[in-house]
Amino acid sequence: MLVFMLGVMLPAAGFIVAGASYLRNIQRNKAIEAVIQREHQQVLAIAEKRIDARAYDIAEEARAKFPDVNQGDRLEAFLVAHPDIAHAVLWAGKGHVQGQSQPARMNEPAFGEEGKEFSSMIGHWFDPESESKDWIAKLKKMEAKEGKHVYLTDNWVSRGDKWQYQSLVLFVPRGSTAEHPALAGFVYDTDYLKDKFFPQALNDVLPNQNQNDTHPQPVIMVRTVKDHAPLATSLRWDGGSPEVERSFEGVFPGLVLGIKLRGTTIANISNHFVQTAFLILGALSLLMGGGMLLTYRNVARELALAKLKSDFVSNVSHELRTPLALIRLYAETLELGRISNPGKRQEYYEIIRKESERLTSLINNILDFSRIESGKKEYSFRETDVADLVRSTLESYRFEIEQDGFQFEQKIDNDLPQVWVDREAIARSLLNLVNNAVKYSATEKYLGVNLYRHNGGVNLEVVDHGIGISAKEQPKIFEKFYRVGDPLVHNTKGSGLGLSLVRHIVQAHGGEVAVESEPGQGSKFIITLPVQTAEVQQAKGMSA
């Protein structure tokens, strides 16, 4: 048992405790939240790169169509061909600024004003010679280094009471020379960014989303630093605020990318994970506990059985030795021929007979038991008059029992049905019960045997007024080798096989054996035998 506790229980308990504390750690350190957040950061970094690339592509494409330095009059045509661009401006040296706003929107009064403001702002920017030189140098350097002809940055305008975000594209137009340097630019309006550019870009950067996927899927949005409400969102954005944010660094300074999980939060996912893990751990612990309980019970049972077996061996040896010693003693005495009294001689013969009978019945019990254990016990069922069987079995014992000082009562009903039984086996069962009744009645010497019709079958009862059996022991006495640990029983010889044989035999007949008993009051063993026809018996394969 100690080995079992140390070898199985301790590691199992250790495993459960370690598992639980590991999970607690994960929960406390918010480890799962951290992992998901890191993953989200990566998604946002990749998203920013892709959005930037897309913005460059679009701006480069427009720049390629932009009029040459000396074609300022074509600005309007350029804007007509690019309805997404709000204003365009061409600076061709100090004081030479040409600006044009999107003709399609000139009916918005504030819009034209905004365009003029934009042109003059650009003029002011570039007019100092040093400033324009710096810009051109910067753009040329970009071109040489990254192969990009445009520089993108933010441009904030106030419309009504709100600050609007625009995207400004600057570049050196065709026809700009060292003597006559020129710069040009155009802006993408908020509306374009909000309604077209970002919705498409955000959807494109998200991994393929399956509508039927039940896993929470990431959704992203973009907002300006001045406003928490989204400027644009990916298609399946479900409101709320993002869980992880990242500020744009390159093309869209002043914008922030945000990501969250659709329909849930990172905290929810983490809680769900930890809860599921705890549940699994709990279920595993229960299974393990159950398994260990079963193993423990099995081990305990095996140990008890091993002890019963060793008791059995010493009981049986003892039981064999006593009658053999008596037989030998009386046989030797008779052999010497010194006993002249015929009465005495007769008594000795009787003792030898009785002791050899005891030996035979003990050996028969052991043989039967071993046949039953190895599954080789065979019964030969025959239609039998049980009343006759019981009467004749008891007859040879009646005298002896009465001589032992027992009051012997036998009640056998008339007209009992014929029962299909193995005569020898039933006789052995009855003798085992009678033997026990005699053995376990030290002071109150009474033996009753009743046979009566019951529920269409037959009941056979053996009653004594002996030491009785406590309720706790009653279910165990039918187990093999089991003997009650009472000193009264201990002092009586026995092998612990009798009742287990009785039960096996009776069950093989389709019946049951039960006990009613109270300590100090005596016991009643009841064998119930059903009346079975030959066909039923054979169908059950009972003679096998």
Chain residues that interact with ligand ADP, rule: CB under 6 A: 432, 436-437, 440, 464, 466-469, 477, 482-484, 489, 494-500, 523
Minimum CB separation from ligand ADP for residue 20, in Å?
A: 48
Minimum CB separation from ligand ADP for residue 374, in Å?
A: 19
Between CA 409 and CA 136 the distance in angstroms is 131
Name the CA radius of gyration of the chain, rounded.
53
What contacts 137, CB < 8 A, 6 or more positions away? none
Q: Judged by CB, which is closer to ligand ADP: 103, or 475?
A: 475
Minimum CB separation from ligand ADP for residue 443, in Å?
A: 13
Tokens found for residue 220: 């992203």
Task: Find, among 23, 252, 287, the residue nearest to 156 by Cα.
Answer: 252
Q: Judged by CB, which is closer to ligand ADP: 330, or 440?
A: 440
Strand partners, 159: 162
Q: Judged by CB, which is closer to ligand ADP: 46, or 324?
A: 324
Residue 184 to residues 96, 112, 123, 145, Cα–Cα distance (Å): 11, 19, 10, 20
Minimum CB separation from ligand ADP for residue 333, in Å?
A: 29
- CB burial class (10 A; 0-12, 13-18, 19+) of residue 279? exposed
Minimum CB separation from ligand ADP for residue 359, in Å?
A: 14
Q: Judged by CB, which is closer to ligand ADP: 164, or 365?
A: 365
Q: Judged by CB, which is closer to ligand ADP: 384, or 459?
A: 459
Minimum CB separation from ligand ADP for residue 536, in Å?
A: 29
Q: Judged by CB, which is closer to ligand ADP: 428, or 483?
A: 483
Q: Following DSSP, what letter does each residue of 369-416 receive, concatenated?
A: HHHHHTT------EEE-HHHHHHHHHHHHHHHHHHTT-EEEEEE-SSP
Tokens found for residue 543: 């003679």
| Contact call for residues 170 and 69 (beta carbons, < 8 A) | no
Q: Judged by CB, which is closer to ligand ADP: 102, or 393?
A: 393
Q: Judged by CB, which is closer to ligand ADP: 101, or 436?
A: 436
Residue bearing tokens 């009650």: 484
Minimum CB separation from ligand ADP for residue 352, in Å?
A: 23
Element (H, E) at 527: strand 522-529
What contacts 30, CB < 8 A, 6 or more positions away? 270
Minimum CB separation from ligand ADP for residue 520, in Å?
A: 10
Task: Assign residue 385 a region (left: φ > 0; alpha: ψ between -120 and 50; beta: otherwise).
Answer: beta
Between CA 48 and CA 201 the distance in angstroms is 10
Q: Judged by CB, which is closer to ligand ADP: 217, or 523?
A: 523
Between CA 391 and CA 346 the distance in angstroms is 26
